[in-house]
Chain A
Amino acid sequence: GAGVSQSPSNKVTEKGKDVELRCDPISGHTALYWYRQSLGQGLEFLIYFQGNSAPDKSGLPSDRFSAERTGGSVSTLTIQRTQQEDSAVYLCASSPLAGGRNEQFFGPGTRLTVL
């Protein structure tokens, strides 16, 4: 079946602009995660959606970052007033069950470059 898809695959923007990154999880997966992978770094957790519960936003680095998940499926990560330090690969993952004990299935990522 179809895996997790993300769009765009690459995004180049100018400092100060807003960007939206999209994630289509695997159909039926209740949990959805956003991570950020900076050059030479591991994966940094950003936000986690679990079914209809309030999202866990504890990893968002600043109030310029926000995310929503509509209808329990597609998710959009928005970065306002982008800064050069926001340049990274943004990864989305979904899981059939909520919680960190379960395998997460990752999308290919969106590479964001802020000039």
Chain B
Amino acid sequence: GNSVTQMEGPVTLSEEAFLTINCTYTATGYPSLFWYVQYPGEGLQLLLKATKADDKGSNKGFEATYRKETTSFHLEKGSVQVSDSAVYFCAGGSQGNLIFGKGTKLSVKP
């Protein structure tokens, strides 16, 4: 069946460090891929998405590219800020519901 696997956390970085959170998916066909973010005390919100191979989603300095050949959608940011501290969820979907990874908690220290 379909599945999404993302790197386990927690991840702790210093401010201005480079961030990568790996995500790979297994699916029939080519799903749309998403990164959702959950800030402390808040609900999940969409960070970025890509709907087909080679698409790049970007928002708030974060980027992820839909790589069909490696079935990956890794999240990257060149310079993280304390305000980026949150839990990040990779998700994929085609028909029906979204399949979510287990989440990666990111803590950014000043």
Contact = CB atoms under 8 A, between A and B. Distances in A.
Given A101-B31, A106-B44, A48 B101 contact: no
A16 interface: no
Interface stretch (A17-25, A39-47, A67-75, A78-86): A39-47
Contacts of B51: 101
B102 interface: yes
Contacts of B43: 91, 106-109
Contacts of A91: 43-44
B44 A101 contact: no
B100 A100 contact: no
A106 B45 contact: yes
Interface residues of A, number: 23
A100 B42 contact: no
A99 B95 CA distance: 5
Interface string A75-111: 0000000000000000101000001111111111100
A20 to B, nearest CB: 20
A108 B94 contact: no
Contacts of A42: 89, 100-103
Interface in A44-62: 45, 48, 56, 59
A65 interface: no
A101 B93 contact: yes
Contacts of A109: 43
B100 A43 contact: yes
Given A42-B89, A42-B101, A100 B44 contact: no
Interface of A: 33, 35, 40-43, 45, 48, 56, 59, 91, 93, 99-109
Interface of B: 31-32, 34, 36, 42-46, 49, 51, 89, 91-103
18 contacts: A35-B100, A42-B101, A45-B99, A48-B96, A48-B97, A59-B97, A93-B44, A100-B94, A100-B96, A101-B31, A101-B32, A102-B32, A103-B34, A103-B46, A106-B36, A106-B43, A106-B44, A107-B43
